[in-house]
Amino acid sequence: MSTTAAPPALYGGKTNRRVSVRDILQAKERQERWPMLTAYDALTARVFDEAGIPVLLVGDSAAMVVYGYDSTLPVTVDDLLPLTAAVSRATRRALVVADLPFGSYQGSPGQALDAASRFMKEGHAQAVKLEGGHRVAAHVEALVGAGVPVMGHIGLTPQSVNTLGGYRVQGRGEEAGAALLADAKELERAGAFSVVLECVPSELAARVTEQLSIPTIGIGAGPRTDAQVLVWQDMAGLSPHVAKFVKAYADLNETLSTAARTFADEVVQGSFPDADHSYN
Q: Which residues, other chains included, contact 226 with Cβ-Cβ below 8 Å and sequence gap of 6+?
A: 27, 28, 33, 34, 194, 209, 215, 216, 217
Q: What value does the CA radius of gyration of the chain take, rounded to a whole number of Å? A: 20
Instruction: Provide the β-strand partners of residue 108.
Output: none
Question: Is 60 annotated as ligand-binding?
Answer: yes
Residue among 87, 150, 157 nearest 115 (CA): 150
Question: Is 121 annotated as ligand-binding?
Answer: no
Question: Is 61 annotated as ligand-binding?
Answer: yes
Question: Is 131 annotated as ligand-binding?
Answer: yes
* Greatest extent of the chain over all pairs of C-alpha atoms, in Å: 74
The one-letter code for the residue type at 179 is A
Question: Is 276 annotated as ligand-binding?
Answer: no
Active site residue 32: no
Q: Which of 198, 210, 254, 266 is catalytic?
A: 198
Q: How far apart are CA 155 and CA 243, in angstroms?
A: 15
The DSSP secondary-structure symbol of 189 reads H
Residue among 261, 238, 266 nearest 251 (CA): 238
CB atoms within 10 A of CB 26: 13
Active-site residue list: 198
Binding-site residues from annotation for 3-methyl-2-oxobutanoate: 60-61, 99, 129
Binding-site residues from annotation for Mg(2+): 60, 99, 131
Binding-site residues from annotation: 60-61, 99, 129, 131
